[in-house]
Amino acid sequence: MPTTIERPGTIERPGTVQPPSPLGLPGFDEWEDVRAGADISGPWIVILYNDDWHTFEDVIDILQKATGCSEEQGYAIAVEVDSKGRAICFDGSREECERVAAIIATIRLQVETDRA
């Protein structure tokens, strides 16, 4: 006989009541929007996510190849990804962002494109 799992309507935290994450991921609703405070001039962005398998050198190298950024800019992005879990690494047209994301994904880094 199948069983059903009841899902609470809200997750209570001290002093606040928030609806659960739309994906059911703990802490997902606590992430700040990656776009907040970012210098975005293009209509699309590329978001790079942190992982535990790639070194800073791997990330910097692929960012330089994909975006043409300097080593210093690549390092700054890698630090932000490592500390915040994700960062905008490129912005531009949809086609440019998809090209950059495809290059970054060749080394199996998690990356996505989105509207700015």
The verdict on residue 93 lying in a domain is yes
The verdict on residue 99 lying in a domain is yes
The verdict on residue 15 lying in a domain is no
What is the domain count for the chain? Answer: 1
Could you list the residue range(s) of the whole structural domain that residue 93 is in? 30-115
pLDDT band at 29, cuts 50/70/90? Answer: low
The verdict on residue 49 lying in a domain is yes
3-state helix, strand, coil in the chain (%, to 5): 35, 20, 45
The verdict on residue 14 lying in a domain is no
* Top-confidence residue, 20 or 62: 62
| φ, ψ of residue 106 in degrees (nearest 5) | -60, -25
Least Cα distance to 48 among 7, 90, 18 occurs for 90
The verdict on residue 67 lying in a domain is yes
User: 36, 88 in Cβ contact below 8 A?
Assistant: no
The verdict on residue 56 lying in a domain is yes
Highest mean pLDDT among 6-20, 23-37, 40-54, 83-97: 83-97
- Rounded-to-integer distance, Cα 100 and Cα 53, Å: 20
Helix (H) or strand (E) holding 105: helix 94-105
User: 19, 10 in Cβ contact below 8 A?
Assistant: yes
32-36, 49-53, 63-67, 106-110, range with the lowest pLDDT: 32-36
The verdict on residue 12 lying in a domain is no
Which tens digits make up the pLDDT trace of 49-82? 999 999 999 999 999 999 999 999 999 999 999 9
CATH number at residue 48: 3.30.1390.10
